[in-house]
A and B are shown apart, each in its own frame.
Chain A
Amino acid sequence: AQKVTQAQTEISVVEKEDVTLDCVYETRDTTYYLFWYKQPPSGELVFLIRRNSFDEQNEISGRYSWNFQKSTSSFNFTITASQVVDSAVYFCALSGIMYSGGGADGLTFGKGTHLIIQP
């Protein structure tokens, strides 16, 4: 069975601080994808990044960066110089096993980290 653990239930920082959200996963698949989504108070999940299991290069997009370490089964997300607009619940997710019929499977989500950025 697959599992995603986000140990940090809630993090509160002051604006402009850097913050890292942790994600640890378990899977028996050799090929898989990892995702991060943002859920602002409006409720809609916004896709942030997808990373495949063969690509361990770190990725940076503006103030966001991701650190994928296969050796520790972790895919951590860092926000640099945080802003109030970054306040949201962030979910890490893992792709499912390809359905034997050639279709799809759902994502396995962590329980989310509620990030609060105080002005």
Chain B
Amino acid sequence: DVKVTQSSRYLVKRTGEKVFLECVQDMDHENMFWYRQDPGLGLRLIYFSYDVKMKEKGDIPEGYSVSREKKERFSLILESASTNQTSMYLCASSLSDSQETQYFGPGTRLLVL
């Protein structure tokens, strides 16, 4: 079975803090994704990566950056957390073809005070 894990289920941070959200997959998938989910807005793509050290902006990259130093790990970074980044963050991975199924982690609920 595909396994995608995220470092924290719940996280509370203060405005201005640097926040790292970690995602690890164990299926040797080439592609990894970060989404955020907000009530009434569904899931929106923040960033994705199709290879180590490669990254592409999604629909809402502002205020975020990412890092992919190893194939299995994809990190989302909030350089200076703000209250409007309070959200549910979901990581996903898939095989190389863009049409492949994306498998999701359990999500991280981030609260920025």
Q: A residues near B, CB below 8 A?
A: 31-33, 35, 37, 42-47, 50, 52, 91, 95-99, 101-107, 109-112
Q: Count how many chain B residues have C-beta atoms less than 8 Å from C-beta atoms of the other chain.
A: 34
Q: B residues near A, CB below 8 A?
A: 30-31, 33, 35, 40-45, 48, 50-51, 54, 56, 58-59, 88, 90, 92, 94, 96-107, 109
20 residue pairs bridging A and B, Cβ less than 8 Å apart? A31-B99, A43-B107, A43-B109, A91-B42, A95-B99, A98-B98, A98-B99, A99-B56, A99-B98, A103-B51, A103-B56, A104-B33, A104-B97, A104-B98, A105-B98, A107-B45, A109-B42, A110-B42, A111-B42, A112-B42
- Taking CB atoms, residues of chain B closer than 8 Å to A33 are 99
B90 partner, pick from A32, A35, A45, beta carbons under 8 A: A45
- Complex Cα distance, B99 from A97, in Å, reads 8
- Taking CB atoms, residues of chain A closer than 8 Å to B48 are 104-106
- Taking CB atoms, residues of chain B closer than 8 Å to A107 are 43, 45, 102
Is the pair B42, A96 in contact by a Cβ cutoff of 8 Å?
no
- Taking CB atoms, residues of chain A closer than 8 Å to B51 are 103
- Known contacts A47-B101, A104-B98: does B106 contact A42 (CB below 8 Å)? yes
Chain B residue at minimum C-beta to C-beta distance from A43: B107
Is the pair B42, A103 in contact by a Cβ cutoff of 8 Å?
no
B104 partner, pick from A44, A52, A95, A97, beta carbons under 8 A: A44
- Taking CB atoms, residues of chain A closer than 8 Å to B43 are 91, 107, 109
- Taking CB atoms, residues of chain A closer than 8 Å to B88 are 43
- Complex Cα distance, B98 from A33, in Å, reads 9
Q: Give min CB distance, B100 to chain A, whole Å.
A: 8
Is the pair B98, A103 in contact by a Cβ cutoff of 8 Å?
yes
Chain B residue at minimum C-beta to C-beta distance from A95: B99
- Complex Cα distance, B33 from A115, in Å, reads 26
Chain A residue at minimum C-beta to C-beta distance from B51: A103
- Taking CB atoms, residues of chain A closer than 8 Å to B33 are 104, 106
Q: Give min CB distance, B104 to chain A, whole Å.
A: 4
- Complex Cα distance, B97 from A31, in Å, reads 13
- Taking CB atoms, residues of chain B closer than 8 Å to A45 are 90, 92, 104
- Taking CB atoms, residues of chain A closer than 8 Å to B90 are 45
